[in-house]
Amino acid sequence: MSSKVAVFWPGDYRALPNEWALPQAREATANLMSALRKLGKSPYLVEGFMTRPDQAIAKLGPIDDPMIGLFVHWTYAPHTVDGVVGKDNPLLLASNFSPTWPGLVALLNTAASLESVGRPASRLWSDARDWTADAPFMERLDQWCSTGSIAYSAAELKTPGPTPAAAAQIAAKIHERIKRKRILALMLGDTSMGMINGYFGPRLLYPIGFSEHKVDQAWLIERQGSVAENRVEDAFRFVQKKGATFHWETADAPDFTPAATREQLRGYLTVLDLLAEFQADCLGWQYQLGLLKLLPPSDFAEGLLNSHARPEGNGQVVITSTEADQGNLVPMELMKRVLEAKGLPAAVMFHDVRWGGVHEGRFLWLLLNSGSSSAYAFNHDEASLKGVHSYRQPAGYFPVPGGTFAGVSLPGPITWARAWIDRSGGLVMDLGRGESVALPDPVRESWRNGSTPQWPFMAADLGCRMETIMAHYMSNHIAVVYGDILDEMTALSQGLGFRVRLLAG
């Protein structure tokens, strides 16, 4: 492999996050450059964050040297993918393993996006202050420098065995219902923030029993004006009566007021009307960027839709995937149907794979996403919103004030899932068993405050090694339910035509 190595910085489209991440980018770059030089390479930096696809095309397209994208905060996948797709020079995605800025989240999203368009890339990460002192990191970097790729153990990627008869029967009944009436997903906008791996489209959705109907998010602006004030007030009283706690007008968020929550509820009611108009079964909601300066964030509305206790509800959830991510929307809707068929609460949580750490000798993932968690995770009570906390979304990202739908997830056995597109264009369902874990208060608060404390929180053992997730998982997102529905989800996914991978130790 060439002695020269190009290092580049994928970036956010928004200026402020890039400014905030600059110290981390410089620190990680110094670490990476030192490591490469120690291995006899001559690294050079492609100057500046890539903040748009055209920049990636212009700056990365002409480079034939091996390349390393360095992820220290959230970035948009096209800011890497569009510059490297169609090329065959060795590509490495590297990240600092830190909860403060979601660099590893961006790495996972970009890796999955590259996989979906058939562009090979390797992954590497370190949580050491001095990367050259991290022996496994240096060994793997040396492997990449020598061969152009890194091989990780695939021992925990397993093919399902025979399905138990009871689980197969439940799956068959759900499959038959889907054959009789396919699932219609209402898509409010397109995938958010360039999430290439999150869009399946009709050609992939139709064979698995799903359809999509796209509605421009601009409809929300016009439709909200026709929502009657008494409906907003009724919804406002409902969420308070059911136990939600609102952190209005705090010292660090004086502009988050009851009026902001009312506007979020107006958005929720607008979406309810759209769902009713199109008789949709589930929802993908883009919410970011397009309406960022025009409407409050949709997090509180998304959390309500995913909860049994919700204004103008019927006691059932409406599966809602934030960022219009169909790779989570599909398994979330299927998991809901399996839970209902088993007589279990049909609550599904949407999370980022944000970070992880060792607690009492056990590696736990911090699952954390701004929207789309169900209240059930915080109270295990289908009739309540107790445990829900609404904090102002950080103003640096969300200029119009609005609250989150947050809380601390209760302990218990879980099943998790993710659907993704492999490089051949086929659909794969990743599945696993795990456990939501209750952390001691000081540990939990340290983890929360080290990331984004305004967002819903789950500490989870995903049932496989950390390295398996980092090396092989094909998304930054994950769908989680309480209870064991792995066998039913395996049978249902296979019946619908997915290739199934079980991630298990």
DSSP per position, 182-247: -EEEEEESS-GGG-GGG---HHHHGGGTEEEEEE-THHHHHHHTTS-HHHHHHHHHHHHHTT-EE-
pLDDT digits (tens, 9 = 90+) for 5-55: 999 999 999 999 999 999 999 999 999 999 999 999 999 999 999 999 999
Residues 235 and 113 in one domain: no
In a domain, 153, yes or no: no
Helices marked H in 123-201: 135-147, 165-180
184 with 295, same domain?
yes
CA dist 474 and 307 (Å) reads 27
Confidence of residue 287 (pLDDT cuts 50, 70, 90): confident
| Residue 245 predicted with pLDDT over 80 | yes
Rounded CA-CA distance 81/84 in Å is 5
pLDDT tops 80 at residue 306: yes
- Domain assignment of residue 248, given as a range: 165-503
Task: Looking at the structure, tell me whether residues 106 and 236 fall in a common domain.
Answer: no
Above 90 in pLDDT, residue 288?
no
**Cβ within 8 Å of residue 206, ≥6 positions away:** none
Mean pLDDT for the stretch of residues 392-415? 96
What is the reported pLDDT for 86? 96
187: confidence class by pLDDT, cuts 50, 70, 90: very high
Q: Is the residue at 160 inside a domain?
A: no
Residues 128 and 201 in one domain: no
Q: Tell me, yes or no, whether 235 and 359 share the same domain.
A: yes
pLDDT tens digits for 79-133?
999 999 999 999 999 999 999 889 999 999 999 999 999 999 999 999 999 999 9
Distance between CA 314 and CA 115 in Å, rounded? 40
Specify if 181 maps to a domain: yes
Total count of domains within the chain: 2
Distance of CA 96 to the CA centre of its chain: 18
The pLDDT confidence band at residue 341, using thresholds 50, 70 and 90, is very high
Residue 13 belongs to some domain of the structure: yes
Domain annotation covers residue 157: no
pLDDT, tens digit (0-9, with 9 covering 90-100), for 72-94: 999 999 999 999 999 999 999 99
Domain shared by 288 and 434, yes or no: yes
- 273 and 132 inside one domain: no
Q: What is the pLDDT of residues 410-424, one digit of tens each?
A: 999 999 999 999 999
Q: Do 293 and 169 share a domain, yes or no? A: yes
138 and 206 inside one domain: no
pTM equals 0.97
433: Cβ contacts below 8 Å, ≥ 6 apart: 413, 414, 415, 416, 463, 484, 486, 504
What is the average pLDDT across 162-179?
Answer: 98
Report if residue 85 sits inside a domain.
Answer: yes
Instruction: Kindly indicate the confidence band of residue 476, based on its pLDDT and cuts at 50, 70 and 90.
Output: very high
Which of these three, 94, 114, 147, is where a domain ends?
A: 147
Residue 314: inside a domain? yes
Task: State whether 74 and 169 are in the same domain.
Answer: no
CATH of the domain at 63: 3.40.50.10940
Cβ within 8 Å of residue 258, ≥6 positions away: 236, 246, 248
- Is 159 domain-assigned? no
Residue at a domain's end among 97, 119, 147? 147
CATH number of the domain bearing residue 496: 3.40.275.10
> Does 368 lie in the same domain as 456?
yes
**DSSP letters along 53-95, please?**
HHHHHHHHTT--S-EEEEESS---THHHHHHHTT--S-EEEEE
Whether 342 and 305 share a structural domain = yes
If phi > 0 it is left, if psi is from -120 to 50 it is alpha, else beta; for residue 380 that is: left
What is the predicted pLDDT for the residue at 479?
98
Reading the block at residue 423, the tokens are 């490089």
Q: Residue 10: name the closest of 76, 90, 109 by CA.
A: 76
Please identify, among 147, 178, 206, the residue that sits at the C-terminal boundary of a domain: 147
Q: Residue 289: is its pLDDT beyond 90? A: no
Q: CA Rg, the chain, in Å?
A: 22
pLDDT digits (tens, 9 = 90+) for 410-467: 999 999 999 999 999 999 999 999 999 999 999 999 999 999 999 999 999 999 999 9
